[in-house]
């Protein structure tokens, strides 16, 4: 039996996306975003939602570029830290001993140690309230060779992404394989 | 060592969101959306991306309402099926023997058997290309009493949400608890 619990957003799973950008002096900066994901297939676009007060916000708007880095679970402490302090006061990549690399196609840095990095050009900003949606067009994707399938695509079981649970505020690992998408549903097709 | 793999979006994890809506005759309909998630904290908003050709698209735009239902892993076959066929030709809820309930605050149905259902009023549509982002304002949240914590909030370990991996096309369960958010990062704070 369901009951109303008020206005909440237990949208499970939420991702842990580490957003790379350069500040006005060219210093590499990162932040953690859990409000975000794919928003269009063609053109390939990702949206992330930021508060305007975030240090990353002006950086991204000024350079019209950001990267979306997928941390593996072994970097859960680093990823959490990226969401706790501001790049205005802290050089987060130096402190965590991670390596910023210059994007190949955009004016933003990606994190070498994370298994997947997606380079985005800023397409649109949409103001909603506390948060502004930034829509970025994907122009290049980088992946650690060790996490690739034979088809040259990141294997989630090797990437080991982190799963966030909004408001409940815990991180989880990827669990058991539940089956093949666009296939299991055939059970209901005569 | 990272290498470029072209233009891809391995944004792991992606959610499995089952979107409830009524068609023009008032028949309850559902679809699966993996492009979506929270996009603003205040007002509390969720975005989902749909193709205009989807049966759900006009239903949602006409009634300015939809629900976001979080399936638990035991409904992975049903959820997959919801993304494989159209409500134009199939009564998906009858075929899967799931129960549509009239939304308490919006003109859209939710699924009784799924542990979490979030009622949304359509706020905005944003055209991007193949997909249109629909932004909905959350006006009510329903949860199965059995999945609630003592704080009356859905416990992800009881909800057992499904994790989708784009293009790789597999579903996963929630895995091991990796720790507390906004806490583990203190490791890097002096």
Q: What pLDDT shows up at residue A7?
A: 98
Distance from CA of A68 to the nearest CA of B (A): 8
**Interface ipTM > 0.95:** yes
- What are residue B10's phi and psi, to 5 degrees? -80, 65
- Each residue's pLDDT tens digit, A80-112: 999 999 999 999 999 999 999 999 999 999 999
Confidence of residue A128 (pLDDT cuts 50, 70, 90): very high
Does the pLDDT of residue A119 top 90, yes or no? yes
Residue with tokens 């959820």, as numbered in its chain: B79
Please indicate if any CB of chain A lies within 8 Å of the CB of B183. Answer: yes
Which helix or strand (DSSP H or E) is residue B63 part of? helix B55-63
Please check the confidence at residue B30 and state whether its pLDDT lies above 80: yes
Identify the three-state secondary structure at position B92.
helix
Cis peptide before A13 (omega within 30 of 0): yes
Question: Nearest Cβ partner of A164 from B77, B80, B181?
Answer: B181
d(CA B120, CA A9): 11
CA distance A57 to A54: 5
B107-156 pLDDT per residue, tens: 999 999 999 999 999 999 999 999 999 999 999 999 999 999 999 999 99
pLDDT of residue A65: 98
Domains of chain B: residue spans and CATH: 14-188 (2.30.110.10)
Kindly report the length of chain B. 190
Q: H or E stretch including B165?
A: strand B163-165
Mean pLDDT, residues B73-100: 98
| A window 110-129, beta carbon within 8 A of B | 110, 112, 116-118, 123-124, 126, 128-129
Question: Is the CB of B184 less than 8 angstroms away from the CB of A1?
Answer: no
- Whether residue A190 is predicted with pLDDT greater than 80 in this model: the reply is no
| Nearest-angstrom CA–CA distance, A64 and A139 | 13
Phi, psi of A50 (to 5 degrees): -130, 155
Per-residue model confidence as pLDDT tens digits over A64-78: 999 999 999 999 999
Answer whether residue B1 shows pLDDT above 90. Answer: no
Tokens coding B101: 């309930």
pLDDT over 90 percentage in chain A: 99
| pLDDT exceeds cutoff 80 at B190 | no
Mean pLDDT of chain B: 97
Residue ranges of A 68-87 with Cβ closer than 8 A to chain B: 68, 70, 73, 76-85
Predicted pLDDT of residue A1? 83
- Cβ of A2 within 8 Å of Cβ of B143? The answer is yes
The structure's pTM equals 0.98
**CA torsion angle A121 A122 A123 A127 (round to 10):** 160
Binary contact (B177, A159; C-beta < 8 A): no
Q: Rounded mean pLDDT of A121-131?
A: 98
CA B133, chain centre distance (Å)? 13
């Amino acid at each position: 039996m369901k009951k109303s619990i008020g206005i909440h957003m237990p949208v499970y799973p939420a991702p842990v996306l580490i957003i790379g950008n350069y500040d006005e002096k060219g210093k590499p900066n990162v932040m953690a975003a859990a409000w975000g994901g794919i928003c269009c297939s063609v053109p390939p676009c990702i949206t992330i939602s930021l508060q305007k007060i975030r240090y990353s916000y002006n950086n991204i708007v000024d350079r019209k570029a950001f990267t979306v880095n997928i941390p593996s679970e072994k970097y859960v402490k680093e990823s959490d830290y990226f969401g706790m302090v501001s790049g205005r006061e802290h050089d987060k990549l130096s402190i965590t001993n991670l390596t910023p690399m210059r994007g190949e196609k955009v004016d933003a840095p990606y994190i070498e140690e994370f298994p997947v990095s997606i380079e985005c050009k800023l397409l649109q900003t949409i103001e909603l309230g506390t948060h502004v949606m930034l829509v970025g067009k994907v122009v290049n994707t980088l992946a650690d060779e060790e996490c690739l399938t034979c088809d040259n695509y990141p294997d989630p079981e090797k990437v080991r992404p982190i799963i966030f649970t909004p408001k409940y505020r815990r991180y989880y690992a990827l669990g058991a394989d539940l089956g093949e998408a666009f296939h299991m549903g055939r059970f209901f097709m005569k």
